[in-house]
Amino acid sequence: MTLVIEPGWAWDAENGLRTGVHVVVRDGRIADVVTERPTLDAERIVAPDALLLPGLINLHNHALSAPLFRGLADDIAPGDLPGHIVFSLLMPLGDIVASAMTEEEIGDAAEMALLEGLRSGMTGVLDVFRVAQWPFVERAKRLGLRSWSCPYTFSDLVGMAPDGTPTWTRPEATGFEAILDLFDRYDEGPRGVTRIGFGPHGPDSNEPALLRRIDAAARERNTIVSIHATQNPIEIARVKQRYGKGSIEHLRDVGLLRPGVVLAHGMFATDEEFAAIAGAGAALASCPLAFARSGRFVPLARMEAAGLRLGIGTDGVTLDLLQELRTASVFAKVQSGTSHGLSAPRILRAATRDAALALGRDDLGLVAPGQCADLVMFDLGSSRYQPVWDPLRALITNGSAADLTLAMVEGRVLLRDGRVLTADAASVTRRGAAAIRRMWQEAARRGAIPAAIAERASFPLRG
C-alpha cells in the first residue's frame, strides 16, 4: 500500500526545512520526497498546518521508573530519605519491583509509560531495565514502537548501609546469560524494529572482565551497549579507588568507548573526558529533567562545546520527549549565558539523526528516499503556535504533545488524529496505574518506603 503525506512543512537535519513537499511511503520505507503532487493511486494525508519530522528517539530511558516514582521522588527535602536517593529509594524500590511484580504487571506499567512516550512523538526508545522486566520488550512490540532494550548486568549489587552509605554485594548471576537468552528470543537483527543490547549498570558495579566480555559479545552480535558513566560522585570515587583512573578512561581500557556504545548522563565528566568521548565516537545521552529534580543542571553547554554525539533521554522522569527537548534547549541557553545554545534545529537533530547514528542506524532519522518510514507530525494550527513564523521554534518553544497527529514506524501507523491505533489507551492506563499502586502498597508492607515519603501518598498504602 502507498501513502502520500502532504504536510505544510517537512524537516530533517540534512535537508533542513522544506515546504510544498509530498512524502511517498511504501513498504515501510520513504519511497520518494517530491515537489510535484504525485499522480498515484494512494491514500493521502493532507495537513497544511502540520510539521512532519523524523520520529523522535529517546536515547536513555527506564520505562518503569516514570510511573513508579511519579510525584514521590520529587521535592525531596533534607531528612526525607536516609541517604542518597539512588541508594535509599530508587534501587530498593527497584529490588521490590523485581521480586514482587508479576510479569503481567510489569508489562502493564511499561506499556502505560510507552504509551505516554508514543503520544509525545517518540517512535524509538533505548530502555535500560533489570532482566526480570523483559515484558517491556513485548509491550513495545505490541505498540509498534522501535526499541533497543539493554537489560542490566551487575557483578556488584548496590545497596545501602543503615547510615546511608552505599554497599556492594555479589549477585548470584550477573545477568549476562539472561541477556543472551533474550537476544536469541527477540532480537530482529541490525535493521530490525526490536533489538536487544547490553546495559551494564555502570563502571563501578561491573568488573572489568565482565565489561570486556560484554564488549566482545556485543561486537559479535552487531548490537549496542549502553552504560551509565560519571553518573554520580560515588561511582567516580569507586572506579578511582579500584582502578586508579577516571570512569571514561576506564571504559576506554575495557573496550567500551567506541561507536555503538551509548554512555548515559556524563554528569560529572571533565572537559577532557568529554573530548575523549567525542574523539572515540561514542555517544552520550543526557537527561536534563532527571538531574533538575535534584537541583542540578546537566552540563549540556560543555557537552556541545566538546562536539560529541549528543542524544536526549527522559531517564524515566517523564516520557514526554517533547518536554524533555524543550528543557534541554532552555538549560543550554542558561548555562552558556547565550540565547542560541542548543537551538530548535540543533536539539531536534539530537533527537532524530544523531540518535539514529548513535544506534548505528544510517537508515533512520531523515525524511529522505530510502529511509525507514519512522515519521511524526505535529499540527501547528492551534492558537499556541499562531502565526507560525518558524515551525521548528514554534514546536520547541511552545509545542505540546497533545498536538501530535501522526506517528508511524516503518510505515505502520501507530497514532492518527491524536488517537493511538495499536492499543486501547484507556485500558492500558487503567491497568498500568493499578499495577503501580499495588507495588507501592507491597513496598509499604515491607517497610521499604521512608515515612516522610509514605505520608505523601494520595491513595491508601496498605491494602
Least Å distance, CB 154 to Zn ion, is 14
Q: Which is nearer to Zn ion, 72 or 444 (CB)?
A: 72
Q: Which is nearer to Zn ion, 264 or 413 (CB)?
A: 264
Task: Give the interface segment with Zn ion, choosing from 65-73, 209-217, 264-272, 325-333 (CB under 5 A).
Answer: 264-272
Task: Give the interface segment with Zn ion, choosing from 37-45, 234-242, 257-265, 430-438 (CB under 5 A).
Answer: 257-265
Least Å distance, CB 213 to Zn ion, is 22
Task: Give the interface segment with Zn ion, choosing from 70-78, 84-92, 259-267, 403-411 (CB under 5 A).
Answer: 259-267
Least Å distance, CB 129 to Zn ion, is 10
Torsion of CA 229, 234, 237, 239, to 10 degrees: -50
User: Could you give the strand order of the β-sheet that contains 261-265, starting from the edge strand earlier in sequence?
Assistant: 225-229, 261-265, 283-286, 309-312
Task: Give the interface segment with Zn ion, choosing from 141-149, 260-268, 332-340, 416-424 (CB under 5 A).
Answer: 260-268
Q: Which is nearer to Zn ion, 264 or 310 (CB)?
A: 264
Question: What residue is closest to Zn ion based on CB?
Answer: 264
Amino acid, res. 28: G
Least Å distance, CB 87 to Zn ion, is 14
Q: Which is nearer to Zn ion, 264 or 375 (CB)?
A: 264
Q: Which is nearer to Zn ion, 66 or 301 (CB)?
A: 66
What is the size of the binding site for Zn ion (CB under 5 A)?
Answer: 1
Q: Which is nearer to Zn ion, 264 or 348 (CB)?
A: 264
Task: Give the interface segment with Zn ion, choosing from 10-18, 175-183, 261-269, 419-427 (CB under 5 A).
Answer: 261-269
- Sign, Cα dihedral of 410, 411, 414, 415: positive
Least Å distance, CB 264 to Zn ion, is 5
Least Å distance, CB 217 to Zn ion, is 21
Q: How far apart are CA 331 and CA 292, in angstroms?
A: 10
Least Å distance, CB 248 to Zn ion, is 17
Cβ neighbourhood burial of 41 (10 Å; 0-12, 13-18, 19+): exposed
Whether 356 and 262 have beta carbons less than 8 Å apart is answered as: no
Nearest of 58, 56, 128, 134 to residue 415 by alpha carbon: 56
Q: 179: part of which helix (H) or strand (E)?
A: helix 176-186
Nearest of 242, 240, 210 to residue 227 by alpha carbon: 210
Whether 286 and 309 have beta carbons less than 8 Å apart is answered as: no
Alpha helix segments (H runs only) across 189-314 = 208-221, 233-243, 247-253, 271-280, 288-292, 300-306
Q: How far apart are CA 257 and CA 306, in angstroms?
A: 15
- Sign, Cα dihedral of 117, 424, 68, 183: negative
Q: Which is nearer to Zn ion, 137 or 229 (CB)?
A: 229
The distance of Cα 137 from the centroid of its chain, to the nearest Å, equals 14
Q: Which is nearer to Zn ion, 53 or 264 (CB)?
A: 264
Least Å distance, CB 226 to Zn ion, is 9
Task: Give the interface segment with Zn ion, choosing from 11-19, 29-37, 242-250, 258-266 (CB under 5 A).
Answer: 258-266
Applying CB under 5 A, which residues contact Zn ion? 264
